[in-house]
Structure 1
């Protein structure tokens, strides 16, 4: 997720195809699985990068693959890192082996005005982290180190190989599958840290692929096609399509919740939300991929991308219940979600949409409690 403006004369948004598409596996001649060899670069604002961070946590890979976090503000040169000069104390490399790279996440119970925060704010472990391998200032430096002739956009996530000093992959869906594949499982010492054994189980792969296809095109990317539309008629078509498919997700989750009520009784269903997911009572990559869009919907997409037919909390009770369940009951989701990064990035990094760079304070709270 870097410079998003790729509209043509028809006023429609076109997303760039990722450039680095290698895989990590035992059979690969170069990229073999190993502990500490690979490094993940993400933005906490970017939903595509967020899905890899969630999967890293669900699969117990936090001690295996380190993380660096880019600054939330994306300027005309793309993503940047904090520099070593920004650090009051030397950067602790161990913080890269935490669930979200050591970033201090938002306290949801506090009023957090953002007007005093400048785009060049350099609060260590709040606005971002340094790049610890080469002390690079820009994500683009990693792309040029991999390919001096690189000429496309500098997107996150980036999965880096420290041994060959190059990008392995920058396609989030493929990185997610790599982390899930099990090739790193042998290096996970604490097996209890593996929350989900397989996010892409064989018996559900056909259903997962089908859901991923229409959710990606119409919801994940749909909010962007709405927000970056440059003609009224294109916007109206795209935003209507987003909500048509949110309705479809709502029906699926409504049916799944009714099935749980039938199985356990209405009085007991709240005790069994560990079975409340999109497919077959099983947490899969479909939930991961949809979550990163839905958790951003009310705080930013409603106003910034004009996806304002309704909010998730007001208009979609079963999506809302599913969202809160993931956020509050699974650290991999809740502790990798930073609403300050999300709000500041979108509102400050897209001057064609929000030329004054005013960051919304609402909704408050950013996400409701489970019982609300």
Structure 2
């Protein structure tokens, strides 16, 4: 049996014919750098005419936006150079202008991280919320994932409680369901904002902020006692870990305990808080914390009584440390790198530029999306 003849191909509805335009000039597009020298592409887009409608159009070149002087690869290279440098240093290294880098940063790096992409491989997460200085006393909030992966999630433009609550409420629901705990410092407003935005999520008080607050209270008691008695009381034996004291510092601490029992009482509470965080089990930690609170609230010093009330108000969040064992140590490391970048750039004035510049230093470009920010 003979095979049937092949079917004829359908006639296309339209076809393209090249249009010769000798007036169009060759364009020079910056594409990359080689041994510190710029490498340019010499391109000229072709023009075609549709045989069906007669419309003439220009072809789009892959990787080269219309009317652009730099390819997308060159823009990505500029941003990679800018990630760890100041604007002026990166401009000198690439042979461009700081204004070019600023416009590229604002054009390609939004003020947010794609939270879904960052936490895609994490079935459960623990967040950390802390603040750092933007300019002098002008603070901004840092939000990071500290478990099971350590990743920066957001830098909020200010430290207002409304801004933090709006960001937490804007987190996608599938990500909210995976948040197991949030680590913060001793700030009541943040605790209320997180409890309203993420009901049911455990709040953990960062142990380093607890000891920092304890050292501040001990030093305040030392200054008051020093002013009342007129005797100089050394500071270092009181704020340093007791097991790390030198012989001289240990003798100074023994003298403080003998002459200034009120200051020694503050120091005892601080050391007991350290023992609370070193406890091997949750039950042992609860027993130590109960002893600390009872001893502080029964003291004769009003400041010590207030301290005991603060510990009682944060009892659940303090004990939660022995369930999740997380701290804000990674977030403090992020702040250290941010301080370095601020020094390299001699500070910032534009808040949105600052947020994008810092996100560029921590998050890959694949995690930075052009979708609207949760705060907008």
Coarse TM-score class (shorter-chain normalised): under 0.3
Structure ID, larger Rg: 2
Q: Give 1 or 2: higher helix fraction.
A: 2
- Structure with bigger RCO (C-alpha 8 Å, 6+ apart): 1
TM-score (structure 2 length as normaliser):
0.25
Which structure features the higher share of strand residues? 2
